[in-house]
Amino acid sequence: MSTRALAKEQPASFAFNADYTAQLNRIIAKYPAGRQASAVIPALDLAQRQEGWVTKPAVEEIAKILGMAPIRVLEVATFYTMFNLSPVGKTHVQVCTSLSCWLRGSNDVVKACKEKLGIGMGEVSADGKFSLAELECSGACVNAPVLQIGDDYIEDVDYASTSKLLDALKRGESVKAGSVTGRDGSAPAGDVITLGENPTPPQKQDFTAAKAAFEKAKAEAAAKAAAPKA
């Protein structure tokens, strides 16, 4: 990660389209009056979904809508690496290179991406179709290594599966989110090695005898206490 700043070349203007305006208004309405600045992250997200990246006019427009200083919006936009501050390709491929993914071979995944897409980290392909970026820990360590394409996580990838996947994307096919090895969510890969058999249900117990014994002891104690002292 390096210093994040708004791209040099910026479009002249930005306005939310009708659909996103409605969505944003719904989000703003969730917060108490005067606290609309809380909607800044969803607002930036909507702007990014509309334009593909967060533009300077978008930052200023959001600041205006939410009644914030533009620098406050910029602070948020530069803080989160999920906000793209410069244009990205139509398909934005992000590889998680944080510790767990790296231990499980994210270097190979990065290599596959670079080879297949012909671009380096943080670059956009000449035709504008692909861009490649590093992803800070995606929080899916159990399925490491992880690729993020759009909103989807593609999990348990390696060199071969990444290459296959990118070829499919290049052909314009869509890819399925989730584990490429066919594993069920985050369930263990392969056979179950613990808790193999069905657990026995709890046994029904009869407390009548115990209760009777307790009542008897209680009555005896009461009788003893009540008896006149010898």
Query: Which residues here bind other proteins, judged by CB under 8 A?
Result: 1-6, 10, 56, 69-72, 74-75, 78-79
In eight-state DSSP terms, residue 94 is: E
Tokens of 11: 């479009």
The contacts of residue 60 (CB under 8 Å, 6+ apart) are 14, 70, 73
Least Å distance between CB 129 and other proteins? 28
Residue whose CB is less far from other proteins, 56 or 116: 56
Of the two residues 71 and 223, which places its CB atom closer to other proteins in the complex?
71
Pick 72 or 129: Cβ nearer other proteins: 72
CB of 188 to other proteins, least distance (A): 34
For residues 24 and 74, which CB has a smaller minimum distance to other proteins in the complex?
A: 74
CB of 69 to other proteins, least distance (A): 4
Phi, psi of 146, rounded to the nearest 5 degrees = -120, 140
For residue 123, what are the CA distances in angstroms to 17, 34, 61, 103, 167? 28, 40, 27, 25, 18
CA distance between the termini of the chain: 90
150-156 contact pairs (CB < 8 A, 24+) = 150/91, 150/92, 152/177, 153/177, 153/178, 154/178, 154/180, 155/179, 155/180, 156/180, 156/181, 156/183, 156/189
Q: Which helix (H) or strand (E) holds 131?
A: strand 130-135
Closer to other proteins by CB, 71 or 195: give it: 71
Rounded to whole angstroms, how far apart are CA atoms 72 and 173?
40
Cβ proximity to other proteins, 10 vs 125, nearer residue:
10
Q: How far is the CB of 94 from other proteins (least distance, A)?
A: 18
Q: How far is the CB of 74 from other proteins (least distance, A)?
A: 6
User: What minimum distance in Å lies between the beta carbon of 215 and other proteins?
Assistant: 48
Distance CA 45, CA 23 (A): 11
Task: Using the minimum distance from each CB to other proteins, give the nearer residue, 19 or 75.
Answer: 75
- Quote the least distance from Cβ 2 to other proteins, whole Å: 7
Closest to 70 (Cα-Cα) out of 28, 102, 40, 107: 40
